[in-house]
Structure 1
Amino acid sequence: MSIHPFGDKHPLIAPTAFIAPGARVIGDVTIGDEASIWYNVVLRGDVERITIGVRTNIQDGSVVHVTTNRYATLIGDDVLIGHLAMIHGCVLENHAFIGLGAIVMDDCVVETDAMLAAGALLTPGKRIGSRELWAGRPAKLLRMLSDEDVARNRSAAAGYVALAKLHRASLA
C-alpha cells in the first residue's frame, strides 16, 4: 500500500481500517473504523475530499476520485462497492450497494439501501432513491428491493469486516 499527502492534505485512516497491499491513498482522504480498502484500489483526494464511513468496503481495482473544487466524494457507513467500480464526485449514503464494474458520476446520490447493478452507468446528477435497484447504461430504475434484498446487502458489510481481519492477520 502507499499512503501519500497531497500538498498540505494528509490521509486520516482509522487504526482498525484495513488497507490492502497495492492500494493507493492520496491527499484529503478520511477512512473510518473497520472500513476495508482492497487490493489495487485508488483513493485520490487531490483536488477535493473523500470520506469513507465505518465498515464500508471498496473492493479490488476500484477508483474513487473527486471533481476540482466542485464535488467531493462522500461515502457513508456499511457501503458495499464492488470490484472495478468507478466512484466520482458523488454521495453514497449508508448501506448503499454499488455493483461490480459500475460507474457513479459527478453530482449523483445513491440513497440508503439503494443499489446500482453490476456494470451500470449512473450519469451525472442522477439520484437513486432508497430501496431502488437501477441497472443499465445509462442506468434506469429496474425495481424496488425486497426486505430480503436489503437484509442480504446489509449483512454483506459485516462479512467484509470479518474477511478484512483475516487478510490483515495473514499479511502480518
Structure 2
Amino acid sequence: MTPDLLLPFAGTAPDFATPPLWCGRGSTVIGRTTLGAEAWLGDEAVIRGDGHDVIAGDRLWLGARATLHIAQDMYPCILGDRVTVGRDACVHACTVGDDCVIEDDVVVLDGTVIEDGVLVEAGSTVFPRSVLPAGFVCAGSPAVPVRRLAPSELAARASRLREAASPPPPPGDARDDPASVFVARTARLRGAVRLEAGASVFFGCDLAAGAGPIAVGANANVQDNCALHAAGAGLEIARDTTLGHNVRTADGRIGPRSLVGIGSRLAPGTVVEEDVLVAAGTVTQPGQRLETGWLWGGRPARALARLDEGKREMMRRIVQQYAGYGRAYRKAQDSLAKARPGS
C-alpha cells in the first residue's frame, strides 16, 4: 500500500524499506522521510520530512491523526524499531528509542530523547530537551518518570492502542478557495468555512463548521491534524496567526499575530487576544480570556511571562515559514493532480 498523499519536498521523495502494511484514509508522507519495514499508518496520520529528516525503524505504528515532524534545519525526528504512537499524538523533532509506546494525545517536543522501552501515558506533554529513561512509565506536564514498567505492560499497552484504531470519518465538502490559499488534499473542510488570502490548512486537519462558521484570516496557518469544531457562535482565527500541530479548539476567537502551541486544547468560548503565545500542551477553561502580550501555559492556562522581542520574532518567522510551505505544497499538489490519468 501507499499513503493517500505522497509528496516530495525540495527534490527529495520519501523512501520505504517495504510498502506499508496499511495506509489509512488521508494518510500523508512527505519529503526526507525514511520508513522501515511493515509500517502501519492510521487515518489522517502525517509524516513531514521538510527541512530535516524523519527516520523510523521497522514496524512503526502511527495512530489516527498522529503527527511526526521536524524542526527545520535544527532537529530531525528519529524513531527506533517497534514504536507505537497513539491517536492525535504529536512527536516533534526528537529521538525515540526501540519498543516505545506513546499514547493518545501526547505531545513530545523538540530535542527530547526517549530511551528504549518507555511508556508515555495519554495526555502527557514532554517538554523540550527532556530525557525519559529506559524502562519507565512517564506521565504529566511536564512528563516525568512515575514508576518502573511492570512485566509485559508495554506490549499490552501497545496492543490496546492498535486495537482501538478508529474508523475513517465522513468525507469533507468540496471547496473553491482563492488561488493564494493552500488546503491539503487530506484536510476536511465542512460547512461554512472561509479562508482569506494566504491562509493555509495542512495535512489531516478537520474544520467542521456546524451551527457556527469558521473564519481563517489572511496568512494564518492551521498545521497538521488540527481539529476545529464550531458548534455555536463560531470560531475566528485572525490574520498572521499560527495553530501548531494537533491543536483542538471549538467556538471562540484567536486574535492576530498569536501562536497556539502544539497539542493545546482551547475550550469553548476561549478568547485569545492579539499578540499572545500559548505554550504547547496548554488547556484552557470554558470562556477563558488570554490577555494580550503574554506567554500562557499550564492546565488550566495561566499567564507565565511577558512576551519579549525574541518570542515575537519567532512567531513572525513561523508565519512566514508556513506561508512558504503553503505555496510549495499547493504547487506540488497541483502538479500531482495534472499528472494523474484523466485529470
Same fold, judged at TM 0.5 (above)? yes
Where does residue 168 of structure 1 map in the other structure?
none
User: Which whole-Å CA distance do the structure 1 matches of 2:86 and 2:127 have between them?
Assistant: 18
Contact 1:64 1:87 in 2 (8 A): yes
Where does residue 12 of structure 1 map in the other structure?
15
Where does residue 63 of structure 1 map in the other structure?
67
User: Which whole-Å CA distance do the structure 2 matches of 1:7 and 1:52 have between them?
Assistant: 20
Q: Would you say 1:125 and 2:168 are equivalent positions?
A: no
Q: Would you say 1:146 and 2:150 are equivalent positions?
A: yes
Note the C-alpha offset of 1:146: 1.1
Contact 2:62 2:85 in 1 (8 A): yes
Out of 80, 83, 87, the position equivalent to 1:83 is 87
Return the structure number with greater relative CO, CA threshold 8 A, min gap 6: 1
Deviates more, 1:100-109 or 1:131-140: 131-140
Note the C-alpha offset of 1:163: 10
User: Which whole-Å CA distance do the structure 1 matches of 2:147 and 2:77 have between them?
Assistant: 26
Structure with max Cα Rg:
2
Out of 22, 25, 28, the position equivalent to 2:32 is 28
Structure 2 residue identity aligned to 1:123: F
Q: Which runs of 5+ in 1 are unaligned?
A: 165-172
> What's the C-alpha RMSD, in Å, of the aligned pairs?
2.1
Q: Using structure 2 for the length normalisation, give the TM-score.
A: 0.45
Contact 2:7 2:30 in 1 (8 A): yes
Structure 2 residue identity aligned to 1:4: L
| Corresponding residue pairs, total | 161
**Aligned ranges 1:30-45 → 2 under 5 Å:** 30-45=34-49
SS at match of 2:152: helix
Structure 1 residue identity aligned to 2:109: M
Note the C-alpha offset of 1:110: 1.1
Q: Using structure 1 for the length normalisation, give the TM-score.
A: 0.86
Where does residue 169 of structure 1 map in the other structure?
none
Out of 108, 112, 120, the position equivalent to 2:112 is 108
Post-superposition, which runs of at least 4 consecutive aligned residues in structure 1 deviate over 3 A? none
Contact 1:131 1:150 in 2 (8 A): no
Note the C-alpha offset of 1:151: 4.3
